[in-house]
Amino acid sequence: MRNFADRTTARAARWAAVALLTAAVALTGAGAAHADDSGETEATEAGTAFRTATVIDQGKPATASASTGDYLYWVFPAGAGQRVTAEATVTLPGSDTRTGPVTWRLDVYDGLRRHQSCASGRPNATAEETDAELTLKCAPRAVRSWADPWSDTPLPGAYYLRLSVAELPERDLGLPVSVSVEVTAEDANGSVAVGGDLADPLLPVGAAGTVSAEADDIVREEERDGGWGDAAYLAVLPEPEDGWNGGWWNDRWLWTAGGGLLGALAALGGYRLTRPGRGA
């Protein structure tokens, strides 16, 4: 009888281990984010202010031609639980037309136009007179689904990229450059889960993008009435794959399930070690 109980306990432990591994594979697959790596260029220009920022999507490179000294703006979406990385490459004019080193800067702002510091990356880069290009990168803190009103925590919604010259010889102002930018995102998992959701994403008012027919009708009606009222142009941003507030899955589910299973196995093992013998 004891051998039968031992075999039953061992069999239950094996099945529990198999169930844990199966759940891990399934949950990991459910939570994986698939970026669009088609390489298709979505935008070939940049805005020159927050209100005229060009809309781009995650994983889609954008290009623009500009003059040295211009401020270049793009706006992209980011949802809760995402850790975004913005990268910009500036192709500089020939060294025979430049008179000295030039420093470029890449800044990230949220939908409220609050500057977001870079948790990693190199947002400033200097090119010497002989360099053909330079690369800048900025990865702000992970986007959270909720924060206190006084906090500057990154929240779901629109994010701006601003590429600009920080320092250069005055004679080099106006020289032509070409730039390319791309924003990628990865899942930050349960480390940024805070147990709350933002009612609405922080979308900019008066930004670039396709104006919906409804908004356009409201604006035209307000113009006819001699005022704007509450009408405003809203940026049309592609919503992240898992929504603005993120998907239902994160690795906390896996750790919780694993902890519960290990606790059950520990209880079975403890019972097996401490139970009295049948003949006692």
Is the domain of 139 the same as that of 14?
no
Is the domain of 171 the same as that of 206?
yes
Q: Return d(Cα 108, Cα 111) in angstroms, integer.
A: 10
Residue 250 in any domain: the answer is no
- For the sheet containing 133-140, what is the strand order? 62-67, 176-187, 82-91, 133-140, 118-120
Is the domain of 71 the same as that of 191?
yes
Residue 279 in any domain: the answer is no
Is the domain of 12 the same as that of 84?
no
Q: What is the domain range of residue 84?
A: 35-241
Residue 222 in any domain: the answer is yes
Q: Name the E strands within 5-156.
A: 54-55, 62-67, 72-78, 82-91, 102-110, 115-116, 118-120, 124-127, 133-140
Is the domain of 263 the same as that of 200?
no
Q: Which domain CATH number covers 56?
A: 2.60.120.380
Is the domain of 211 the same as that of 269?
no
Q: Return d(Cα 178, Cα 170) in angstroms, integer.
A: 19
Is the domain of 75 the same as that of 185?
yes
- Short-list 136, 141, 137, CA closest to 117: 141
pLDDT score, position 22? 42
Question: What does residue 178 show for φ and ψ, rounded to 5 degrees?
Answer: -125, 140
Is the domain of 183 the same as that of 268?
no
Is the domain of 8 the same as that of 79?
no
pLDDT score, position 184? 96
Is the domain of 14 the same as that of 40?
no
Structure tokens at 12: 């239950």
Residue 249 in any domain: the answer is no
pLDDT by residue for the chain (280 residues), tens only, comes to 444 445 545 454 454 444 444 444 333 333 333 334 444 457 899 999 998 999 999 999 999 999 999 999 999 999 888 999 999 999 999 989 999 999 999 999 998 899 999 999 999 999 999 999 999 999 999 998 887 778 888 999 999 999 999 999 999 999 999 999 999 999 876 666 666 677 788 886 544 444 445 445 544 554 455 443 333 334 467 788 777 876 655 555 566 666 777 888 888 877 778 877 655 5
Is the domain of 23 the same as that of 83?
no
pLDDT score, position 98? 94
Residue 112 in any domain: the answer is yes
Is the domain of 20 the same as that of 57?
no
